Amino acid sequence: MDGRGWNTWGEGAAFGLQHGMAVIPYALLKYYRKLNLSGDEAMLLIHLLSFRQVEGIEFPSLEDLQTVTGRSISVIAGELQKLMKEGFISIDGTNDELRDFHYEQYNFTGLFNKLGAVLAEAAQEAAEGRTAGANHSGHASTRIAASPAATVSVEAESRNLFSIFEKEFGRPLSPMECETISGWVDQDRYPEELILLALKESVFAGKVHFRYIDRILLEWSRNRVKNAQDVKNYNQKFRNGGR
């Protein structure tokens, strides 16, 4: 295939992408763990939504789902049962009287209701955090002074980590980056104060990326650094050559 042929192929692929995209709620990507969903279960919901939107299939078969997930039918069936039992999805039966035909379709009302509740909870927590910060004027906040946008406070525990990181990075976070932050909090159990201090360190070092921040947190964890005073002592010890 010559250069023109590859260009034509690329244009065709681009056309297909434009006309074959599914709209996935960002809240599902961001909060699925808060809903006690595994990554596979969240991906199964995404596939169900995609089948409806892109292919017009309201009730994909287990074989259809096996093809796109690469997992066994028994595993998929178990996950569907869990999603229905916990109210994320339900099955509606509909009769087409004109064609004398009965068909079934997945109903996502439960999923959307749960996502709405999570979004409301997050908004309430953010509002309460701002109120607490405004009423806590008797204490000075520690802020990054490396740039005009570097205004991270490491004091208020209820700060929205996602919005703080987005402000420092100067762009929206990707789902993978949000997942990384959630992992620091939920799995590694790093205090929010420590995460913000690691972000501060990365800004001062001019290395504002997640891998560098993760290395800082891991190093601190290995050295039992748990708060701002520990960070100060650790940095002092490091500057003195470990003495």
**Which CATH architecture is the domain 22-137 placed in?**
Orthogonal Bundle (1.10)
Place of tokens 């409806």: 52
* Whole-number pLDDT of residue 68: 92
* Whole-number pLDDT of residue 1: 56
End-to-end CA distance of the chain: 65
Of the candidates 51, 103, 44, which has an alpha carbon nearest to the alpha carbon of residue 78? 44
Of the candidates 146, 224, 172, 193, which has an alpha carbon nearest to the alpha carbon of residue 29? 172
Residue ranges of alpha helices (H) inside the chain are: 3-18, 26-31, 39-50, 62-69, 73-85, 109-135, 161-169, 175-186, 192-205, 210-222, 228-239
**What pLDDT, in 10s, does the model give residues 109-167?**
999 999 888 888 888 887 777 666 666 544 544 444 444 444 443 333 334 788 888 88
Radius of gyration (Cα) for the chain, nearest Å? Answer: 24
CA distances from 163 to 57, 78, 110, 140, 152 (A): 37, 36, 28, 21, 10
**What pLDDT, in 10s, does the model give residues 18-77?**
556 788 888 899 999 999 999 999 999 999 999 988 888 999 989 999 999 999 988 999
| CA separation for the pair 83, 41 (Å, rounded) | 8
Same fold, 22-137 and 139-239: yes
Judged by DSSP in three states, 5 sits in: helix
* Whole-number pLDDT of residue 3: 59
* Whole-number pLDDT of residue 206: 86
* Whole-number pLDDT of residue 183: 84
**What pLDDT, in 10s, does the model give residues 183-233?**
888 888 888 889 999 998 888 888 888 999 999 999 998 888 888 888 888
Does residue 174 contact residue 165 with C-beta atoms inside 8 Å?
A: no
Query: Domain locations in the chain?
Result: 22-137, 139-239
**Which CATH architecture is the domain 139-239 placed in?**
Orthogonal Bundle (1.10)
* Whole-number pLDDT of residue 154: 35
**What pLDDT, in 10s, does the model give residues 60-116?**
989 999 999 999 988 999 899 999 999 999 988 777 666 667 778 899 999 999 988
